[in-house]
Amino acid sequence: MEQEIVVARQETEDLAIKVPEGVPQISGGTSEQYASSCYVLLCPRPCGNTLITTFSNAVTDVQGFVARDSTRKEIHVVLDTQILLVPLVAPGAKTASGVRVHSGFLTAWDSVVLQVLTVVEVQKKLHPDYSIVTTGHSLGGSIALLAALTLKGTFSSTEVRAYSYGSPRVGNEAFAETLVHSNDGVPTMIPSKLGYHHHGVEYWQHSKPPSNATTVQCDTSGEDPRCSVSIPSRGINLAHTNYFGILVSTPFCL
């Protein structure tokens, strides 16, 4: 499956929270700050930027927001959600035959996809030169990837970037950027023996503190044996709740 979704990698020296060179970072805050802010009920100015709308679905327990960064001309779609592989069917998603994804993640995304597309379409008409960024932590990271596929298929001429933190495997190898902290057990919770395969390039922070020396850019296979897959899953643990020194659910909303 060919993918045109771009993952940006850069470092900004003047940010209060330093991240290792090469790890994805976006203006107005790191992508992890956006993902962390999605856990709070009200976030009036995500990472200091403009909140366009919030969205949610009570049945699938999905929530998130769309924000606009006028400095970098980006539209941000940020998601969170509190084993069966199925075909990837979502509005705008264009994939090759044989592509399969987790049915629960797909159901969760499909429950809010029309809300998100409606808002992003309006924003793209108002700001046609803006790129689109999707971000999420844990299960929200999985949905952020599905969102990126839908958004790229819908807005084919727009640059779309996806960032996920501590995301579990989403689909099979045909489907196959995650960033993993230390011995976070969630990324390997869904076993590969069931047909699942990690997508993209993983950045694995294997020890503290976060720095160039403690963060590894893994290979492009998605299942680099030197990285998080080398540690047996222990499920949700302390490492899963903290990325780059940011405790998940810490709001960056002013």
**Which of 118-132, 181-195, 234-248 comes out lowest in average pLDDT?**
181-195
Residue 181 known to be catalytic: no
pLDDT band at 5 (very low <50, low <70, confident <90, very high): very low
* Interval 99-155: pLDDT, tens: 788 778 888 899 999 999 999 999 999 999 999 999 988 888 889 888 988 999 999
Catalytic position from the list 69, 80, 110, 184: 184
Q: What pLDDT, on the 0 to 100 scale, is given for residue 193?
A: 65
The closest of 25, 42, 41, 44 to 33, measured between CA atoms, is 25
* Interval 45-95: pLDDT, tens: 999 999 999 998 888 878 899 999 999 899 999 987 654 566 777 877 776
Catalytic position from the list 31, 131, 138, 233: 138
pLDDT band at 98 (very low <50, low <70, confident <90, very high): confident
* Interval 205-228: pLDDT, tens: 888 887 888 888 888 888 888 888
**Which of 6-20, 25-39, 105-119 comes out lowest in average pLDDT?**
6-20
Q: What pLDDT, on the 0 to 100 scale, is given for residue 111?
A: 92
Residue 184 known to be catalytic: yes
Q: What pLDDT, on the 0 to 100 scale, is given for residue 121?
A: 97
Instruction: Tell me the range of 3-7, 56-60, 192-196 where mean pLDDT is highest.
Output: 56-60
- Which domains occur in the chain, in start order? 31-247 (3.40.50.1820)
Residue 14 known to be catalytic: no
